[in-house]
Amino acid sequence: MKKQHILFLPVLLALFLFAACEKNEDGITVSKINYVSFEPAFNFGVDPTGTATEQISIFVSTITSAARTFNISVVEDGTTADPTGYSISSSTITIPADSNEGAIELTVTGSKIDPDGSVLILEISSQEGLLIGEPLVINLSQVCPYPETILDITFDDYPEEQYWQILDANDVVLFEGGPYPDQTSFSKALCLPPGSYQILMGDLFGDGGGPYTLTYNGNVIVARNGDHESGEVIAFQIN
């Protein structure tokens, strides 16, 4: 999913540098400040069952005839994103000659993102004589590209016994949960692309559990009363 910018950097950068410019001997206005900054913070939504790649840009206040390279790194203090869930194409960003912008790519794996969201923070390494902008904050989230499938369970008197799994047509476990001590109900949104699936609803004691439903796009596609003894497997289809 396309990232969503919170602010528009080039406009802010232009306003910041306006008062720090002068004209050279040829009458051309140039900046007196050697400044480099990331683009503004942005939100990056990724399919929880896939991956997505987005460009990260930096901008400089001066244009030169030679390429310039800047080191970047992850700010550990504040970053909550799983390090196995993202990759950055390079630890450096190069500004080509006669340009004021350079870029690298960030690739994120949706299944590695915390369902409640996580944060990745990058910074540009300091250099003598260089004014550096604020670190870049990237807010990562799971965004399902399909209508979500909703699992609802109403537990019996023994929620600590009930558990569940969602499997694909090849019996690969995609989602699972339970048991649920001290809960009376449970609801979870699942991102499932069109296809064939199964839900396994189990009970550790073997005497069945509470009723449950699966709802897709507003329609109930599975509804069971919980009378499944040690467990049951129900096939269902997402169209």
Q: Are residues 132 and 214 in the same domain?
A: no
What does the DSSP 8-state code read for residue 119?
E
Q: How large is the average pLDDT for residues 209-222?
A: 96
Share of the chain above pLDDT 90, in %: 80
Do 122 and 188 lie in a common domain?
no
Q: pLDDT averaged over the chain? A: 89
* Separation CA 57–CA 109 (nearest Å): 20
The predicted pLDDT at position 19 comes to 43
What is the predicted pLDDT for the residue at 33?
75
Residue 16 binned pLDDT confidence (cut-offs 50, 70, 90): very low
Domain boundary among 118, 142, 166: 142
* Residues 44 and 93 occupy one common structural domain: yes
* 116-146 per-position pLDDT tens digit: 899 999 999 998 889 999 999 999 999 999 9
Judge if 87 and 154 occupy the same domain. Answer: no
Closest CA to 177 of 155, 206, 196: 155
User: Does pLDDT of 15 surpass 70?
Assistant: no
Same domain assignment for residues 180 and 72? no
Q: Is the pLDDT of residue 99 over 70?
A: yes
Residue 29 has pLDDT above 60, yes or no: no
pLDDT for the residue 9: 46
Task: Note the pLDDT of residue 150.
Answer: 97
Structure-token match 């004589």, residue found: 129
pLDDT at 49: 83
Please indicate, yes or no, whether residues 130 and 17 belong to a single structural domain of this protein.
yes
Tell me, what CATH number does 181's domain have?
2.60.60
The pLDDT tens digits of the residues spanning 173-194 come to 999 999 999 899 999 999 999 9
Q: Which two tokens stand for residue 104?
A: 């690298």
Residue 106 sits in the same domain as residue 61:
yes
Name the pTM for this structure: 0.70
CA 184 to chain centre: 31
Measured CA to CA, the distance from residue 207 to residue 190 in angstroms comes to: 27
* Per-residue confidence band for 170, with pLDDT thresholds at 50, 70 and 90: very high
pLDDT beyond 80 at 205: yes
Which long-range contacts (C-beta less than 8 Å, at least 24 apart) are formed by 80-84? Answer: 80/114, 80/118, 80/119, 81/113, 81/118, 81/119, 81/120, 81/140, 82/112, 82/113, 82/114, 82/118, 84/109, 84/112
The answer to whether 211 touches 224, Cβ cutoff 8 Å, is: yes
The contacts of residue 230 (CB under 8 Å, 6+ apart) are 202, 203, 206
The three-class DSSP label of residue 202 is: strand
Question: Are 138 and 191 part of one and the same domain?
Answer: no
- pLDDT at residue 11 is higher than 90: no
User: Residue 14 above 70 pLDDT?
Assistant: no
What separation, in Å, do the N-terminal and C-terminal C-alpha atoms of the chain show? 22
pLDDT at 3 (0 to 100): 61
Question: Into how many domains does the chain fold?
Answer: 2
